[in-house]
């Protein structure tokens, strides 16, 4: 049965950055009532301008929204938001409240969030997103949802506003592990494409032709190639789809997970040094496609920064 505007739950978005802000705007376009909070006043203004209700803090969002989408960049922020949600008395918030935790953070911190909210009577789903904000226009996201299947079925219509790819991947935590596996590949792909573009330039090929021939190839073409290599060709890395600085956090979390399960990751480790070099070259606020500048510098190409 289709969800009508009369039966749609109010959705709260906590963390209105690149990803959270995009989700809030898409939900508003789809006719949902959306409230939200971010410590950044500019993000609050963007939500208000889009038609949402910007509230004073995370606890206020928890008082109004039946479904909460949490999108944060640090474990400290998640801990503070978790405490705020848990502080709201059960009688003061919507019944059967569900938190959809979409951040890419260490598993131990996400477990702690779920445990604290469970004690407060709130169900939590671990549902990281594979995809960048710009890819939502193509409905190219994948949301790896893990937790109880009952909660998954309730929130699926909300998540399908963003994409049709909303698989249930298992018990709580499986979503984050899937995201780690996905980002492990993306980290390597980015550097591989930067190296490929640099090789093409050094050989005197037109790298635009390389992307034209390779990008849609059923054998070697990928969405990451089409997105990031296009930026590399123009040497234009702003506005970023993923900042190098933020990606460093993801790299560290994935590396720690690999160590915890005794899994060697030689390709991932080799790629990590290129992102570190990008930070050293002042590219922290640029898109991760700027790894092409690191490879170019190593090859003697003239820098643009």
How far is 199 from 47, CA to CA, in rounded Å? 43
pLDDT digits (tens, 9 = 90+) for 192-202: 999 999 999 99
The predicted structure's pLDDT at residue 6: 54
pTM over 0.85: yes
What is the average per-residue pLDDT within 165-169?
Answer: 97
pLDDT at 90: 94
- Of 165, 182, 185, 135, residue with least CA distance to 23: 135
- 3 confidence band (pLDDT: 50, 70, 90): very low
Please tell me the predicted confidence (pLDDT) of residue 88. 97
- How many Cβ atoms from other residues are within 10 Å of residue 153's Cβ? 10
Do residues 196 and 220 touch, judged by C-beta distance below 8 A? no
Q: What is the pLDDT of residues 139-164, one digit of tens each?
A: 889 999 999 999 999 999 999 999 99
Q: In the chain, what percentage of residues exceed pLDDT 70? A: 98
Half-sphere exposure at residue 174, Cβ-oriented, CA atoms within 13 angstroms: 12
Beta bridge partners of 123: 98
Mean pLDDT, range 98-118, rounded to an integer: 96
Each residue's pLDDT tens digit, 215-268: 999 999 999 999 999 999 999 999 998 999 999 999 999 999 999 999 999 999
Strand, helix or coil for residue 44:
helix
**pLDDT over 90 percentage in the chain:** 90
User: Which residue pairs, CB below 8 angstroms and at least 24 apart, start in 170-173?
Assistant: 170/146, 171/146, 171/147, 172/111, 172/114, 172/124, 172/125, 172/126, 172/146, 172/147, 172/148, 173/107, 173/110, 173/111, 173/126, 173/146
Q: What is the pLDDT of residue 132?
A: 81
């Amino acid at each position: 049965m289709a969800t009508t505007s009369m039966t749609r739950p109010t959705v709260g978005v906590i963390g209105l950055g690149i990803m959270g802000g995009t989700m809030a705007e898409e939900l508003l376009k789809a006719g949902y009532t959306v409230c939200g909070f971010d410590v950044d006043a500019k993000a609050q203004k963007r939500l208000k301008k889009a038609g949402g209700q910007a509230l004073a803090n995370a606890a206020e969002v928890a008082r109004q929204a039946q479904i909460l989408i949490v999108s944060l960049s640090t474990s400290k922020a998640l801990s503070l938001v978790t405490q705020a949600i848990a502080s709201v008395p059960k009688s003061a918030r919507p019944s059967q409240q569900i938190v959809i935790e979409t951040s890419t953070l260490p598993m131990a911190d996400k477990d702690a969030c779920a445990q604290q909210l469970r004690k407060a009577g709130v169900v939590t789903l671990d549902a990281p997103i594979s995809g960048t904000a710009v890819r939502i226009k193509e409905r190219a996201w994948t949301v790896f949802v893990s937790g109880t299947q009952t909660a998954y079925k309730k929130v699926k219509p909300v998540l399908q506003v963003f994409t049709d790819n909303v698989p249930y991947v298992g018990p709580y935590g499986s979503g984050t592990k899937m995201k780690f596996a996905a980002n492990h590949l993306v980290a390597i792909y980015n550097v591989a494409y930067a190296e490929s573009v640099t090789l093409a330039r050094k050989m005197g090929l037109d790298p635009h032709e390389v992307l034209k021939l390779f990008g849609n190839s059923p054998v070697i073409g990928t969405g990451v190639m089409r997105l990031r290599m296009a930026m590399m060709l123009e040497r234009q890395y702003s506005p970023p789809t993923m900042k190098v600085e933020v990606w460093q956090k993801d790299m560290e979390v994935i590396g720690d997970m690999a160590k915890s399960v005794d899994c060697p990751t030689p390709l991932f480790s080799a790629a990590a040094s290129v992102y570190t070099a990008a930070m050293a070259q002042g590219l922290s606020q640029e898109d991760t496609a700027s790894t092409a500048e690191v490879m170019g510098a190593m090859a003697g190409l003239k820098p643009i920064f």
